[in-house]
Amino acid sequence: MKTIGYIVAAILIFFGVLFIWGAFGSTPQPGWIVVGVLSAGIGLTILYLISRKAKAEAGTQVTLKIDLPGNVGMDTIKCKSCGGTLTAENIKVVNGAPMVTCPYCHTVYQLTEDPKW
Ligand SMILES: [Zn+2]
């Protein structure tokens, strides 16, 4: 849903700029400025609404998948309580802190291991 919003906003802004640009072309079209400004304005409004919604969601309980760089050996991360090997899918960022949920013993704790980047 959010991705669609971004695409629609980008298209609207793109065409808005094209119309404003075209308005000052070889055959000036004053009406195009209105169309262009309206189109770009709607696009920017959509972008604003999406970013505001995203911020509101981030303030609550949004969980993001952590993007670990490829050089970090995921096989080296082991569960603190049972020693089971953890994968990137077991690590989720909750309110900015990386949380580990062990698939073997179901222990949930904060990942304290320093990132190696
Ligand atoms: Zn465990």
Q: What CA–CA distance (Å, rounded) separates 7 from 21?
A: 21
Distance of CA 85 from the midpoint of ligand 1 (Å) = 8
Å from CA of 82 to ligand 1 middle: 4
- When computed from its CA atoms, the radius of gyration of the chain, rounded to whole angstroms, is 23
Q: Does the pTM exceed 0.75?
A: no
pLDDT at 69 (0 to 100) = 52
Residues 60-70 pLDDT 10s: 544 555 555 55
Instruction: Report residue 54's pLDDT band, with 50, 70 and 90 as the boundaries.
Output: confident
In angstroms, what is the span from residue 44 Cα to ligand 1's centroid?
A: 47
If you average pLDDT over residues 83-100, what whole number do you get? 86
Cα first-last separation, the chain = 33
CA–centroid distance, 78 to ligand 1, in Å, is: 8
Cα of 70 vs centre of ligand 1, distance in Å, is: 23
The average pLDDT across 98-103 equals 91
Distances (CA, A) of 24 to 29, 39, 40, 82: 7, 17, 16, 69
103 CA → ligand 1 middle, Å:
7
Using the mean position of ligand 1's atoms as its centre, give its distance from the Cα of residue 60 in Å. 27
